[in-house]
Amino acid sequence: MARAAKPLIVVPTYNEVDNIDMLLEGVEQHAPEAGVLFVDDNSGDGTVDRIEGQQRRRPGQIHLLQRPRKLGLGTAYIAGFRWALERDYDAVHEMDADLSHDPKYLPQTLDFPEGCQVVIGSRYIPGGGTVDWGPFRKFVSGFGNLYARAILGLSVRDLTGGFNNWKREVLETVSLDGIRSEGYAFQIEMKYRAIQAGFSIREIPIVFHDRRVGQSKMSSRVALEAMIRVWAIRFQRTS
């Protein structure tokens, strides 16, 4: 395995002030070589102030991209991908701000096996799983993944997960301009486009924790939108 020489972790934020310090402590412990870019959608709880304080402690490693309002998870990641491509990063890693993604898995997901261009932190392979989820959320997530796999004809087990590492060449190839999906559908579409472009995906088992602080942004409406969007992903042009 060969770790990317210059990885960037992109973290979208909206009112995540209580999670910033713990997240960065975990990244510093497990992936000290990685830069971190926060893409903030005009948080009103002091998130930006907390990030700027961390920037002063770690100049050149912690970065902040501010947006004028809440514009959606998918566009936040695309903005982060573009920021990284403009600055010569070799790989870009997605990560939630709410501590549901444990930084202890970063050493595994930052490593690309030979011939592999995407690494996914997967809840749905042996060794992976979820913690503190109720029956409804387990059903929605599990069914959503099965549904998307069936519609798109993919073998990837965790299509909706957001703990993913992309080689630069993938982001340069998959036509970021054409991606319209948000939320879970964004994660599905990115993986589908990468596979359609001929890139190889490896899944690494992770245990996903429910957010420790704040309110989950997951809802039945978000899940339903993802299920509808899968059909558009299936039939849209990918080039």
Give the tens place of pLDDT for each residue, 141-173: 899 899 999 999 999 999 999 999 999 999 999
The domain defined by 2-235 folds into Spore Coat Polysaccharide Biosynthesis Protein SpsA; Chain A (3.90.550)
Pick left, alpha or beta for residue 127 (phi over 0 → left; psi -120 to 50 → alpha; otherwise beta). left
The better pLDDT of the pair 113, 217 is held by 113
Using alpha carbons, select from 80, 79, 174 the residue that is nearest to residue 118.
Answer: 174
Amino acid at 223: A
**Residues 6 or more apart in contact with residue 190 via CB below 8 angstroms:** 164, 166, 174, 179
Using alpha carbons, select from 104, 24, 100, 9 the residue that is nearest to residue 56.
Answer: 24
Q: What is the pLDDT of residue 211?
A: 60
pLDDT class of 218 with cuts at 50, 70, 90: low
Q: What is the pLDDT of residue 210?
A: 76
pLDDT digits (tens, 9 = 90+) for 6-53: 899 999 999 999 999 999 999 999 999 999 999 999 999 999 999 999
- Number of alpha carbons in the 13 Å side-chain half-sphere of residue 223: 15
pLDDT class of 191 with cuts at 50, 70, 90: very high
Q: What is the pLDDT of residue 55?
A: 97
Residues 64, 61, 16, 74, Cα dihedral to 10°: 60
Q: What is the pLDDT of residue 225?
A: 73
Q: Cα–Cα distance between 239 and 137 in angstroms, integer?
A: 34
Using alpha carbons, select from 195, 199, 201, 162 the residue that is nearest to residue 181.
Answer: 162
For residue 235, CA distances in Å to 193, 203, 229, 230 come to 12, 25, 10, 9
Domain extent listing, the chain = 2-235
Burial class (CB in 10 A: 0-12, 13-18, 19+), 111: middle
Quote the pTM value. Answer: 0.91
Q: What is the pLDDT of residue 216?
A: 52
Q: What is the pLDDT of residue 235?
A: 83
